[in-house]
Structure 1
């Protein structure tokens, strides 16, 4: 019953955004829509010639396209007039597994506390930035769900052991993630630590651990490797597609003294760090629409309380289950990596 209520709350918060958010306030949505529309109408990947011929609207055409699969499914039978809105519905639906995974992770991490277990998925449902991101066309929604399921697999593996089947599934999910958005793979180091804890940390031999890691790696490579080979040939050696994307995008950016002016602050500027802080919780439009400023202070207090709770868990004399603690650390680290991925969506 709880998971049903969570999903209903998830939909209740995101569907109004989906229906009312202007395209001009959804970051790069026209560019995302070009890819989604092409995939839906042609049922194949765009070629390098087609992407270059389309110009700026197709700037994401050289990047991984399989994060748009939910959008293709929701808009395939739509008329041209309704295709854009139904493509947005793909992002909403793609985000539902994130809620389910968060619910199950909460139960794994806090088996004796219903409040704490429910707080985790509730935070995901109410997270302002996720509400925004999961309401318009992009690949972030799919990527976050793939990452969330991967975290769940590793958390359970730390507590119960990593089977070959789980390792294969993890490799497939990470492969799909690579086919959805490169930066989603920023979660791999955290998951790698979890895999080590789930194998060597549980007393398995090095050979057993390598066997499972190799199984995941082979499936990962088989799932996504072909795409990078294709990109190398389609985009003149641009394996990731990012150089092609940036070349198309940079032509329309302002230039001062021969230098391109990017829409975000420099790393050595205070504005960059303020942007990171705000975007962690909610920064809308083209990085220029803020929440009510005191709300950020409240959200920051959540982070401080979480850190204090973790420190308390590590204090001597506190009763704790080592597997649960390790799983919690892995989930927190992976969550941080996932936030890094989300911060790079622009």
Structure 2
């Protein structure tokens, strides 16, 4: 049975049996049964069989598979969003308020809004995954986080069985974190309201990250234009070139990766000073919580950049990326990630925190 109404071509929802679970690590994974939601309205979500599926604590919410490690290759039951539209809610001389459905690809939204000359998301180009999954991690790159642009998030509260409209402050965004991540399993993000700008920021175009200054200079030489005339789309394309020079292309079949695999650790200023005395030239960035040290640098200093163990390894282009070359399992991949963590811990006495979600059981039994 599905949610098709008379005269309706696309059902409101549908069931799929033994569904392969796509993921950018290209690890084997299947769901015994999956619910696909094509419509995200209250009428659909409160249908008895849909509501029961969402309320079941063993149902796991999955996005585009870009930030997950399937340590367990089989899941009992999952839910996925197929609704993937966006629209403008309000448009003024200097601001654009838009709404995007959770099943839409984040990179697609970035490029389509940048192509219209709107500023705000262009630094997030080439980040895989869906709009609905992005607030979970508060995805970010090159000094921009999605939470900076969020106005509100509409989500299904699986505990209460109802729609919730959460303002930006209610989302509790932090560095690669949010309310939706700390309360894992509770929320199904349906739509995200975003605020973009029709005018560039004061520091446009921002280039305070490795590789961007050279990329901007190349763009100026090619176009003959001053930096200030770079469009949001041109900036997004520049970001794409820089990212692809360092990271595997998540659209390619192999090698598989989940992007940046570890959080950049934050240590106290005194600890950072002690480390810098032992390792002169260690990159460090003051943040509100202390001093951030690039996890990729720590892994590289542990002599693991380009290290390979069978079908898994550390990327030779960027030490923060772990790769799967095909034919391995999530269990093997997880053991390799722990090997990397142990090597860094032994040398620096720093515990790296894994960024992707590691699914180690067939079901999700806890919610925040």
TM-score (norm 1): 0.25
| Structure with higher RCO (Cα < 8 A, 6+ apart) | 1
The structure richer in helix per residue is 1
TM-score (norm 2): 0.24
The structure richer in strand per residue is 2
